[in-house]
Structures are given as structure tokens and as C-alpha cells.
Structure 1
Amino acid sequence: MAKITYITHDNKSQTLEVQNGLSVMEGAVQNDVPGIDADCGGGMACATCHVYVNEEWLDKLPAKEDGEEDMLDMAFEPKQNSRLSCQLIVSDDLDGLVVNIPSKQG
């Protein structure tokens, strides 16, 4: 299990223990974290699980695949540190990860 901190657009923080093997998105959905809609259920067919990853974590995450980049182009206000939380698989290596949720999903 890893502790993942979700910060909503209005600065409400929630730190959750998420089981290894689940995605950061699944951890949010299972715990009713507001702002991660996950309309496609993690199929990388939408951008409604878009998050901003804190800068210090960017080098510790797997690289974005082309499909993720394409979906992020449709996200609300994408940035350099934008990721789809469905593509971030939880492991002990992600313990302490902090993600910020945009003010709305695309």
C-alpha cells in the first residue's frame, strides 16, 4: 500500500492508503474523492481523471505513452505535469505521491 494525497482545486487535502496494483484513479473513485470523474472507467478514452503531479514526482513516474498525451490534449488546462491518474499504477515506489485535481474535468 502507498499513501497518496489528493488535493482538490479548493485546497482540501485527503491522504489515502491505496492498494498496490490499483491506479491512482481507482483509489480516488473507491474513496469518493471529488473531482476525479473517471467517466471511461480507466480505459484511457477520456480525460476525466486528469491530475497535476507535484514536480518532485515527475521523474519517478513511468513516461507518458502517446495515447495518454493525446487524451491530455483534450483535458482542461493541461500543463507539463499533467497525467491521467488511470495510468499511474500504485506501488510502494509511489508512497507519498501528491496529486492536485483541476477545478474541472475536460
Structure 2
Amino acid sequence: MGQCTSWLGIAEIGRFCVSVLGSDQLDACKRFAASSPDKFAGLSHRSSPSGQPILDNVLAWIDCETEVIHELGDHLLVVGRVEHLERERDALPLLFFGGGYHKTEGIKL
């Protein structure tokens, strides 16, 4: 548990930044879901106020400091304290649930 490269970086510095992807960014999402030592290589990105990477052209980003970590079976739930956030563009978000990717278009809430 907790041995993926993304988690090791978060655990070491105690910070992370969530990039909220649009439905047009499926390829980037799949890249981050795969195992790779440098998931940002070749992708356009910049640094958040705390120095964490933010993908360019995202819908929004949320810069956090790790607040608490919970073990849930063979997973870790990392709760962050939001320090900075910004909305960057309007578009449909990319969602993942039920084992697949979805758009919010046509979903009634």
C-alpha cells in the first residue's frame, strides 16, 4: 500500500495539487492513471503557489497541504487542507466512476 510514485512524492513533501480535468483531457487522465516515473514529462505545466505541478489548460486547480491520511483496505485516502484554488476555464469536467469515464452532459442531478 502507498508505493506508487505519485504517493511517494506527496508523502515526502506533504503537499499536492489537484488539476481538475475537462472532458477533452482524457489522454492526460489515462497517462496519470498508468504507472510512470515522470507523469509530467512532455506535458505542458507550471507550478502552483506552493511549487506543485499544475497541468496547463485545466478547468481548475486545488493546491493543498496534507491534513490527514486514512487507510481504507488496500488504499489510502489523503485529505488536504486547501491553501489556494483557481478556476481557469468553462467546459464539461471529466468524471470517472463505475469503472469508466463520463461527461456530465445529459446527467440529471
- Per the normalisation by structure 1, the TM-score is 0.28
TM-score with structure 2 setting the length: 0.27
Structure with more contact order per residue of length (Cα contacts < 8 Å, sep ≥ 6): 1
Q: Which has the higher strand share?
A: 2
Greater Rg, structure 1 or structure 2? 2
User: In proportion to residue count, which structure has more helix?
Assistant: 1
